[in-house]
Amino acid sequence: MTQFRLDEQKTSIMVLMVILALSSLGFAIISLVLGPEITLDLGPGRAVELEILRPNVPDLNGLEEFWNEMGYIVLKRDQVYDVQTALVNENQVWVQGQETLVLVPERYDRKLSNAVLHLGGLYLEEGWTIQLEAQDHGYTMGFWSNIAESESRVLAYEWRIELLNPQNYDYHYGSLIPVMGEPFDPEGFRKRTPQAPVLALIIDDWGYSSPANDPMIAFPLPLTMAVLPHLDVSREASERIYEAGHEVILHQPMEALDSRLDLGPGGITLGMDGGEVKNVLKENLASLPVAVGLNNHMGSLITADCTTMSHVLEVVKELGLFFVDSRTSTQSVVADVAYEVGVPFGVNNLFIDNESDVEKIKAQVRVGLALAQRQGHAVMIGHVRPATVDALWEMIPEFLDSGVQLVPISRLLYNE
């Protein structure tokens, strides 16, 4: 199939690649002269002239206001036009348009189906024939139209309307470009950083029923969720998080400096030997099979103790996982022990919600974004709380405008 790109403001066609197979001629055409008609130069004394037909399609430009009113940010528009074999006669071809529109919901309660059905109804009222199909992450709306003045009716335009989500975020928003098999980031190159500015945001304390659960899982940008073991909704929450495309890690309870604090089930305390630590960790991880690593819940006493952390990290290495130091203690020895044992590890830079106030949380997130922009990367930790999820949803435009990519914590680890 020959593929072209059309300038929306012009009627001319720009050729990107021409490999037009004509079965009646049996070979590929190398050069085309394009206009209202295509002249195919087949050599001395031989030429075929093809007329380009452009079926009528609705005006899909200028819809950004509609999507904004429906509660969506228009992140991306990709348009491609293909020349199709015409059904009229062998000397005519027609142009089919294809577009991918990527939307980002601004609010948790937005339902794409409602917006798409409303828009489809508007086009039906204008007399268009449409077809609507549900697809992964969105819908495809097709517009049928006649070719010129003929009776031939074709699918003239396919409009893929897709929601940004953690599963397609890298594809639609990521800026890494493969060059000679290696990722190259033009923004990072200009800033002299090794990669695009990246930020990992970990959300702790999953496992309880909370009004923040659903909107946090629905967050359209990738997060890492740290799930406490053996609580009422730990397993269910971890599976829903995983299915939504977020990363899951075990939020491992560890003894704090204040030993009176309740660790909950599956905790590690000072004085446990290596066998006890191993059994606890394996039981906790078995209850959350989608977890790919772990971080500490409380743990200011344990993360400052070389012996117990050695027991923990030896199990982490055995299971092929990673550990993230939440940095609840300035005396943490996690980095030193991880280097010694040979375990990939991450380190938290700041907590965003020590105070459950939306505006203060947003201010902390901006500190993390600025840190990522300055040094190329940053790690933040928040909690699955109503104020935190409200702040994150309200900051979606800021995340998208910052130039900082959100990534799972597994992509921001120090290695041995």
Domain identity same for 204 and 317: yes
d(C-alpha 220, C-alpha 166), whole Å: 6
Same domain, residue pair 83 and 32: yes
User: Which residues make Cβ contacts (< 8 Å) with residue 62, sequence separation at least 6?
Assistant: none
CB neighbourhood size of 77 (10 A): 13
Supply the pTM of this predicted model.
0.84
pLDDT at 10: 28
Residues 211 and 340 in one domain: yes
Question: CATH code at 314?
Answer: 3.20.20.370
Last residue of a domain, one of 119, 135, 163: 163
Interatomic CA distance for residues 351 and 368, integer angstroms = 9
Q: Which domain covers residue 149, as residue numbers?
A: 3-163
Amino acid type, 125: E
pLDDT of residue 216: 98
In-domain check, residue 195: yes
Please tell me the predicted confidence (pLDDT) of residue 91.
77
| CA dihedral over 259, 263, 265, 266, signed as positive or negative | negative
In a domain, 168, yes or no: no
In this predicted structure, what is the pLDDT of residue 27?
27
pLDDT given at position 195 = 58
Same domain, 212 and 154: no
Residue 236 is assigned to a structural domain of this protein: yes
pLDDT score at 218? 98
Task: In whole angstroms, give the CA distance from residue 23 to residue 54.
Answer: 23
Q: Is residue 24 part of a domain?
A: yes
The domain total for the chain is 2
What whole-number distance in Å separates Cα of residue 303 and Cα of residue 311?
11
Same domain, residue pair 74 and 39: yes
Question: What pLDDT shows up at residue 94?
Answer: 87
Q: Mean pLDDT for each consecutive 10-residue tract of the chain (416 residues)? A: 30 25 28 42 60 88 93 95 76 90 96 96 96 96 86 90 96 62 49 70 98 98 98 98 98 95 96 97 98 98 98 98 97 97 97 97 98 94 98 97 94 87
Residues 355 and 236 in one domain: yes
* Residue 30 and residue 130 in one domain: yes
126 and 225 belong to one structural domain: no
Same domain for 342 and 232: yes
The pLDDT assigned to 62 comes to: 86
